Chains A and B, each alone.
Chain A
Amino acid sequence: MSSASTAAALAEPQPRLRGRAAVQQHIGKRMSGAEIFLRALEAEDARVVFGHPGGAVIHVYDEMARVKPNFKHVLVRHEQGGTHAAEGYAKATGEVGTVLVTSGPGATNTVTGIADAFMDSVPIVVFTGQVPLPLIGNDAFQETDTLGVTRSITKHNYLVRAPEDIPRIVHEAYHLARTGRPGPVVVDLPKDVLMSEGVFGYDEAIRMRGYSVPHECDEMRLRRAVRMIEAAQRPLLYVGGGAINANACEALTELARHLNVPVTTSLHGLGAFPENDPLSLGMLGMHGTWWANQAVQHADLIIAVGARFDDRVTGMVDRWAPHAAIIHIEIDKSCISKNIYADLAFNADAKAVLEALRPLVRARKVKRWHNKIQGWRDECPLSYADDGELRPQFVLERLRAKSGGDAVVVTDVGQNQMWAAQYMKYTQPRSHITSGGLGTMGFSLPAALGAGLGLRAYGIDKTVISINGDGGFMMNAQELAVAAAHGVPLKVVIMNNNFLGMVRQWQELFHENRFSHTDLTDTNPDFVQLARASRCAAFRAERTDQVDGVIEKAWAVNDRPAVMEFRVVKEEMVFPMVPAGKSSDEMITSKHAPETFV
């Protein structure tokens, strides 16, 4: 089948059922554990499963061929790619991503993606095959203690011991992944459980006495919040990915505009508040804007929404926001007062709190505060040299102009990620996907593949742009062929400076230009040839005047990925910057360079 016809066949998503209604006709029937598992996935409305077969799960794949479940299985070419694809699927659609792999190496290959999802609160469920129960502990072929390995990087994990337990455990796994602070759940499926027979039963109710979603949003807290907000002279909203997870962006935007309070976001908060709004200060933190960090350092009230005061945001914790009282709205209690003490905390759903707050609180006149922020904006705008050299920031601005802010941008890790955060100007939730907490190079391409397939499965027509450096691109380049096989028209950008750019930047700034093992000039492949060999369209730009032409050509491809290699200058650095472990006051910008760092 040609890729174009595959795309056409998948273009029309059908109305789908979820829960008991989806599996009604199978209830009470005897079937193999493997089929029970497939039916349980149907009940969860898993629309795409990213997987790779192997010995321990061969019966699942066999049943898949026999009973033809209603989800699409995507054969990834490395299990790590599968987990990132599931993350991309989850982040683009807001639904739970699904991964299916075999035991041993299949399971261990998912570990990076699981850790990534754990750090970034991404709802995915990873099903791993396991050797038969009687062999567990015997060092059997392809045996790994998957529960042990994934214990500290999952929200929860399960070993299934009987086929009848599969529907309950699958249902709990999706429930845990999706609710509260989302996160990855691993379900380990021993081969004998999949092979043996059982009766398929399905119960919608979740019975987990140790798990509940908190809702601490009482009258007293709300009244206190109102007093704090109305008393503030220099208020600031600091928004993280939790606002997007909670679907709180509309409520947030309404409240911010109602109060006339400026908004800064973390890396994962990008898109939660439109960056073209005058109240938006862009990103804060290590590579945030000068004015956002100055606003933090001068604010007298910070309302943190779904954010965890990560060290990339705060720098030196003791010196962060020294004048600000903190209101923290956060679903995960362990994030409250972990790094920065919260004077008032709502351990609750962000949307519910913001909506409850909105009618209670009056706007304050904070004109002086806005003027002050405007001063910082004028003092040190984002900028890069305009000398005719091909620079990544220029490419991003052209991509932004082409996509009009309507695309889903999936970035890799490093300089490309920070420039994409600074220059792409996000205006919609779920339009920015990245690996923030774990900082996983090789994330972008498979995550973009997952995002593209997820959007397609939900009938959402959006361009997906994958932004990579040359280093990270090579870490999961095998998934390019998968995107081509499924006709996903990704726009894949490679900012090729023939260097591991972010490490190079630190080596130049802090390690006296010793570019130890970061120069890739002699080891990088020809990316255009690599892309074409993977059945993708590919174009290259080496000069600024070629950029728009390449972008146009890439956008004209609609049946497979289009790879754009931009040969950018290698010396370019990401500024502004708060050096690691320093205070947000000590930013390096074109104008502010504390002598200790340069």
Chain B
Amino acid sequence: MNEEAITLTPQQLIRKRAAGEPVEAGAAPDIEQHIINVLLENSMGALIRVVNMFSARGFNLDSVTVGVTEDPTVSRLCIVTRGSVRVISQILRQLNRLVDTIEVDDLTGTDFVERELCIIKVRCRGEKRADVLQVNEIFRGRVVDVTPDILALEIVGPTKKVDAFVNLMKPHGIDEVARSGRVAMQRAPQPEDGGSD
């Protein structure tokens, strides 16, 4: 360990900073969550290749959503992952390296819209039901199924909003939760002069 304390050469400092690693010996690098969109050949085995790459290389995979795009031969993946600067850059490059990937975009740090859909069954009756419906109103949720004991609610929004809603429902007794995972899309750039109309 005392050898680690040897002062780093300027070149070693450059390398550490570029990799987002702390200069102090023993300190762990910062871990960041990233949202990555991938346009993928909509063909057999393409999705599994992406997922397999994450597991084969030991990368973290928080969520994956996939769906076909306006072009039926292309699907869009939205991947949520975590890692240091160095790991995220490896993930992007390994994604690009796959033959089936057409485009890889790291949305993190750009201006993008993200949404997640959640269907939640809450066990409630009587007065409690009014409370639940009120919170649902505040979150602009929709009631999708009702029985005397159960309210099924649908909520759409950024993941943080969905998290908050699920947390608020916990005291009422959650029966089931189904979450879609995130989808995200970069916003179109705003015209500089505020637009012609």
**Chain A interface residues (CB < 8 Å from chain B):** 147-148, 151-152, 155-157, 159, 176, 208-211, 318, 321-325, 332-334, 336-338, 340-341, 343
Complex: A326 Cα to B69 Cα, angstroms: 41
B3 CB to closest chain A CB (Å) equals: 9
Complex: A536 Cα to B51 Cα, angstroms: 49
Whether A340 touches B45, Cβ cut-off 8 Å, given contacts A152-B52, A210-B100, is no
Chain A residues in 8 Å Cβ range of B86: 337
Chain B residues in 8 Å Cβ range of A210: 40-41, 98-102
Complex: A337 Cα to B9 Cα, angstroms: 18
Contact partner of B12 (CB less than 8 A), chosen from A157, A208, A318, A332, is A318
Interface majority SS (helix, strand, loop, mixed), chain B: helix
Complex: A176 Cα to B99 Cα, angstroms: 9
B42 CB to closest chain A CB (Å) equals: 11
Whether A333 touches B102, Cβ cut-off 8 Å, given contacts A318-B12, A341-B14, is no
A161 (CB) vs chain B CBs: closest residue:
B44
Contact partner of A159 (CB less than 8 A), chosen from B19, B40, B44, is B44
Contacts beyond the supplied A159-B45, A322-B11, A334-B97: 19 A-B pairs with Cβ under 8 Å: A147-B45, A148-B48, A152-B52, A152-B56, A155-B99, A208-B99, A210-B40, A210-B41, A210-B98, A210-B101, A321-B11, A322-B12, A323-B9, A323-B11, A334-B96, A337-B18, A337-B19, A338-B90, A338-B93
Interface majority SS (helix, strand, loop, mixed), chain A: loop
Chain B residues in 8 Å Cβ range of A156: 99-100
Number of inter-chain CB pairs below 8 Å:
59
Question: By the criterion CB–CB under 8 Å, are A333 and B93 in contact?
Answer: yes
B55 (CB) vs chain A CBs: closest residue:
A152
Complex: A341 Cα to B19 Cα, angstroms: 7
B11 (CB) vs chain A CBs: closest residue:
A323
A265 CB to closest chain B CB (Å) equals: 22
**Interface residues of B, CB < 8 Å — how many?**
29
Question: By the criterion CB–CB under 8 Å, are B97 and A332 in contact?
Answer: yes
Chain B residues in 8 Å Cβ range of A321: 11
Q: Can you list, as one digit per residue, whether each of B40-81 has a CB less than 8 Å from chain A (1) or not (0)? A: 110011001100110010000000000000000000000000
Complex: A156 Cα to B45 Cα, angstroms: 11
Chain A residues in 8 Å Cβ range of B14: 341, 343
**Chain B interface residues (CB < 8 Å from chain A):** 8-9, 11-12, 14-15, 18-19, 40-41, 44-45, 48-49, 52-53, 56, 86, 89-90, 93-94, 96-102
Chain A residues in 8 Å Cβ range of B12: 318, 322
Complex: A325 Cα to B9 Cα, angstroms: 11
Question: By the criterion CB–CB under 8 Å, are A152 and B11 in contact?
Answer: no
Whether A334 touches B48, Cβ cut-off 8 Å, given contacts A152-B56, A210-B99, A318-B12, is no
B93 (CB) vs chain A CBs: closest residue:
A334
B57 (CB) vs chain A CBs: closest residue:
A152
Question: By the criterion CB–CB under 8 Å, are B56 and A341 in contact?
Answer: no
B89 (CB) vs chain A CBs: closest residue:
A337
Complex: A185 Cα to B34 Cα, angstroms: 31
Complex: A334 Cα to B87 Cα, angstroms: 11
Complex: A151 Cα to B19 Cα, angstroms: 29
A441 CB to closest chain B CB (Å) equals: 23
Chain B residues in 8 Å Cβ range of A341: 14-15, 18-19
B12 (CB) vs chain A CBs: closest residue:
A322
Question: By the criterion CB–CB under 8 Å, are A211 and B11 in contact?
Answer: no
Chain A residues in 8 Å Cβ range of B102: 209-210
A32 CB to closest chain B CB (Å) equals: 24
Complex: A343 Cα to B100 Cα, angstroms: 30
Complex: A338 Cα to B100 Cα, angstroms: 22
Complex: A322 Cα to B14 Cα, angstroms: 10
Complex: A239 Cα to B52 Cα, angstroms: 31
Complex: A334 Cα to B94 Cα, angstroms: 6
Question: By the criterion CB–CB under 8 Å, are A334 and B19 in contact?
Answer: no
Residue with the greatest number of chain B CB neighbours at <10 A, chosen from A148, A155, A210, A325: A210
Complex: A318 Cα to B86 Cα, angstroms: 14
Complex: A340 Cα to B18 Cα, angstroms: 10
Query: Lowest 8 CB-CB distances: which A-B pairs, in order?
Result: A334-B93, A152-B56, A341-B15, A156-B99, A341-B18, A322-B9, A210-B102, A333-B93
Whether A333 touches B96, Cβ cut-off 8 Å, given contacts A338-B90, A341-B19, is yes
Question: By the criterion CB–CB under 8 Å, are A211 and B99 in contact?
Answer: yes
Chain B residues in 8 Å Cβ range of A209: 41, 102
Residue with the greatest number of chain A CB neighbours at <10 A, chosen from B18, B19, B96, B99: B99
Task: List 6 A–B pairs whose Cβ atoms lie within 8 Å, in order of A's numbering.
Answer: A152-B56, A155-B99, A209-B41, A322-B11, A333-B93, A334-B94
Chain A residues in 8 Å Cβ range of B98: 210
Complex: A311 Cα to B44 Cα, angstroms: 35
Chain B residues in 8 Å Cβ range of A340: 15
Residue with the greatest number of chain A CB neighbours at <10 A, chosen from B15, B49, B56, B86: B15
Chain A residues in 8 Å Cβ range of B56: 152
Question: By the criterion CB–CB under 8 Å, are A334 and B90 in contact?
Answer: yes
B1 CB to closest chain A CB (Å) equals: 13
